A and B are shown apart, each in its own frame.
Chain A
């Protein structure tokens, strides 16, 4: 049985867990802890280490989705993630511009660690106060060739689109390296 991974990362409460939950065939195994700090009380729990989801492709192939917070203190996970990682997705909460700087930092950290393809997903695009995608591209300092995709992590079709764009990107890089 072959296994491959896609890593889903991003700032606190960006929607990583929901993203994986939308497409995983298993209940998302989440290592969560109750929030003790008043400052972070946007939600009741937060992912401390990793979310874990699965999509069985066929008898010989399984795709695992790993959700990780992306902060520097989780560097130790790289050895686990580096084997069979096809690419990564950075989820950014479109309604919270105060998290854009952290999202940029996470993106740069992952880009420095891994030469694998990636996409950035602007989550919560259905929210009234979501930033426009073009404005987010500028705020996140994403070059014109970097994929920034509209996403609603609770919407399966939107999540599928993001995963497919990452896979198309992987195919495109394979074609490029061949030519």
Chain B
């Protein structure tokens, strides 16, 4: 039976566990929010991974890992753009720019980071293709999945806890009124500052996430830490659309509505 489904029903951690225990060989294709990831396995070990929308060339990976400079990367692409990663790797090692360890470590880090990104994808289709293998010319590795699975489980627990604390991203944020608090004296991370810069009762957390280029989990994590520190509070966004239209009163007449509430008050008092 084809191994396919939606991440809503089967998490990445569960998939990795299955692949690990069954020692599967093939490619897991996952369609996430605006991206497609392909993670290849051999005998249950992580061999290769790419995000299709990104530059997955060896030169780009080495540059991201600061093993080569941006200008070296540009030069490599100009002069050796037609070379496969395997060929390029050999050339770079022979020329003394990087060592074999540098290349393997950079690739391992890159592939693991792709899998880590998948942990925050809570919705999206996946399928496992036993026939698809890493493209020829690409350098593969052999990484045990156990540590990644443990990391994934921790992240899932964190996600569930964050969802409980902040169930809806349609709510907005406002700064708490705490006399004596000066934001300038507080050490915030870059991500936290980005979120803080958008805090306004007009902006829902979902809008803030989009503007700050954060996913659902990342924005919840940041907001949670700001909530815990007492810097912000969750409020209803002004001008919000609610998922289910609420009709409070059985009448639209304002005077009748007021009379209805006063009648209720009188009745409750008389109980």
Residues on A close to B: CB < 8 A? 2-4, 23, 55, 57-58, 61, 63, 72, 78-79, 82-87, 101-102, 104-105, 108-109, 111-116, 141, 143-144, 156, 160, 163-164, 167-168, 170-171, 174, 178
Contacts and interface: CB of A to CB of B under 8 A. Distances in A.
Contacts of B249: 4, 84, 86
B190 interface: no
Contacts of A84: 247-250
B264 A82 contact: no
A4 B260 contact: yes
B66 interface: no
B165 A167 contact: no
A170 B261 contact: yes
Given A23-B271, A105-B167, A108-B166, A61 B265 contact: no
B257 interface: yes
Contact of B165 (A2, A78, A105): A105
Given A72-B167, A78-B244, A84-B248, A61 B260 contact: yes
A132 to B, nearest CB: 18
Chain A interface, DSSP helix/strand/loop, else mixed: helix
A104 B244 contact: no
Interface of B: 164-168, 170-171, 176-177, 227, 233-236, 240, 242-251, 254, 257-258, 260-265, 267-269, 271
B168 A83 contact: no
Contacts of A178: 254
Contacts of A3: 250
A151 B271 CA distance: 17
